[in-house]
Chains A and B, each alone.
Chain A
């Protein structure tokens, strides 16, 4: 029997793209938020921020914001999935002779395309603000790759949580909880400035690993810490997402299959 995974996944991806094409404004609204955060932190609060080891706060902030934007993408994946589950359209997909995995694969491809687009837009905003990478184009591309890898891991956490939550009301709880988790990292300030144990958590936050790694790759300040986590940021920036994927990918797939129980 023909394997329809690719064809069906592409059909499902097109579905997501058609949604976005119908609401072009939404992408800009989605972008407005991280851009606003960058502006607030760079210009309102940035004056009072001191980068550990010296350097311009803007150069410290932009890579962190890129990591945060990728991580917060978890939310949009989760919302999209709960909406599908609650609208019954998933029932029709499941009663069709299509590849069952296409629903989730299509969702993830669509979200990744959107994330890549917003990542490039954020990079553009950073460049306009005077942020630069200093270690060459190849390293910069690798940094973008690490950011997308983080997004990919968050995406599967989002799919899993979306299926566990099931209801849009529970999505709100996640939307609130994601804030302290986002801030308990070195995205806006270095972990050393936090109380000891909190700083340790922040340092081991997957978002911090990616932020530190991309700062290093971009040649931006803020990566020259001395702890193990800080000196192995590039390793952690790969290991964390891969570990999260290894856990949440199978969980999400199992949960999806479990819809028939």
Chain B
């Protein structure tokens, strides 16, 4: 039954709040030692999935296994093997960093000395060794996040859940968390990451599941997902709005694919196969037709576009979602 290569196995997971379905049959498998990104608009069910896997919430239907243990039947065994970094710092704000980590160590039953040693080790590793007696509520956002991450690692977990780990952090804090995650994965930890920042998923995730309205709308590597909505495009912005239709016709003829238009942005574009040839041909044809071009570019689809297209969260907004 248990798949040793897959540290997280989720089948047909369902959860309803009142009469509002939050998860409507989610399937998910995560391979050992990888980072799996869970993306989706607010309310898609990302946090619900994480809370069920972390044994904080009971599912209404379906099966979920973490590190080979069922999250409902063997919750305690799962708890020995996971770390959780939630959206809000799960720390005792009144205590110091050291007191927090020692308390968690004791609750993991490391014993007084074991807990103290582990706390010292983690404080050192996350650059918090000199925080002394200062209460966590006086910490900066970045320090608090690092301590929260340290608290998730007291037991050196097999599986780490990161629920929007960098929300509210400045770019430096974000990079710190990313580096910490990379080094953990290098050490064999499996990570399930939810995020609102597509760049974060692009940077960290080996595979991504796109969640929409409680279902997995798409799954694959970031490149696969990008490829799914088409490859490169040529994009043209014309100077005069009244030339937009003519430009679209020229682009269609030049690249041999139907061009779409965005009147608000005075923009037209089409998917291309041969990047450079398409660019030079388009530019030449536009010049020959006497159309004034303000901007022309080749670009790859971003994960934002994948996200918007596949989740249907903004079919109309997708033209705006460029670089």
Contact = CB atoms under 8 A, between A and B. Distances in A.
Contact of A96 (B58, B89, B91, B108): B108
B107 to A, nearest CB: 4
Interface string B99-131: 100011011110000000000000000000000
A8 B94 contact: no
Judged by DSSP, the binding face of A is helix
Interface in A10-29: 11, 14-15, 18-19, 22-23
B55 A95 contact: yes
A257 B95 CA distance: 26
A7 B54 CA distance: 23
B218 interface: no
B104 A92 contact: yes
Contact of A260 (B57, B95, B109): B57
Contacts, number: 76
Contacts of B145: none
Interface string A69-107: 000000000000000000111011111111000100000
Given A15-B92, A89-B91, A260-B57, A4 B109 contact: yes
B58 A92 contact: no
A254 B135 CA distance: 32
A7 B110 CA distance: 11
B244 interface: no
Q: Which of B55, B89, B99, B109 has the most CB of A within 10 A?
A: B109
Contacts of A94: 55-56
Contacts of B82: 95
Nearest to A23: B94
Contact of B76 (A22, A93, A97): A97
Contacts of A98: 107-109
Nearest to B60: A261
B90 A97 contact: no
B93 interface: yes
B30 to A, nearest CB: 18
B12 to A, nearest CB: 19
Q: Which of A14, A18, A88, A96 has the most CB of B within 10 A?
A: A96
Q: Which of B84, B88, B90, B104 has the most CB of A within 10 A?
A: B90
Contacts of B58: 260-261
Contact of B79 (A7, A95, A102): A95
Given A92-B104, A95-B54, A7 B92 contact: no
B151 interface: yes
B46 to A, nearest CB: 16
A76 B311 CA distance: 47
Given A15-B103, A98-B107, A87 B93 contact: yes
Nearest to A102: B107
Interface string B160-195: 000000000000000000000000000000000000
A92 B95 contact: no
A18 B91 CA distance: 14
B228 interface: no
A152 B292 CA distance: 82
A260 B104 CA distance: 21
B80 interface: yes
B86 interface: yes
Given A11-B103, A96-B79, A89 B92 contact: yes
A89 B90 contact: yes
Contacts of A14: 103
Nearest to B54: A95
A22 B94 contact: yes
Interface in B60-106: 76, 79-80, 82, 84, 86, 88-95, 99, 103-104, 106
A210 B86 CA distance: 45
B164 to A, nearest CB: 13
A9 to B, nearest CB: 11
B135 A22 contact: yes
A91 B92 contact: no
B321 to A, nearest CB: 32
Interface of B: 54-58, 76, 79-80, 82, 84, 86, 88-95, 99, 103-104, 106-109, 135, 151
Q: Which 6 A-B pairs have the closest CB atoms?
A: A92-B90, A97-B79, A88-B88, A98-B107, A88-B90, A11-B106
17 contacts: A8-B106, A14-B103, A15-B103, A19-B95, A22-B135, A88-B86, A88-B90, A89-B92, A89-B93, A91-B84, A92-B86, A92-B151, A95-B54, A97-B80, A97-B108, A259-B56, A260-B58
Given A23-B94, A91-B56, 4 more contacts: A11-B103, A15-B92, A15-B103, A260-B56
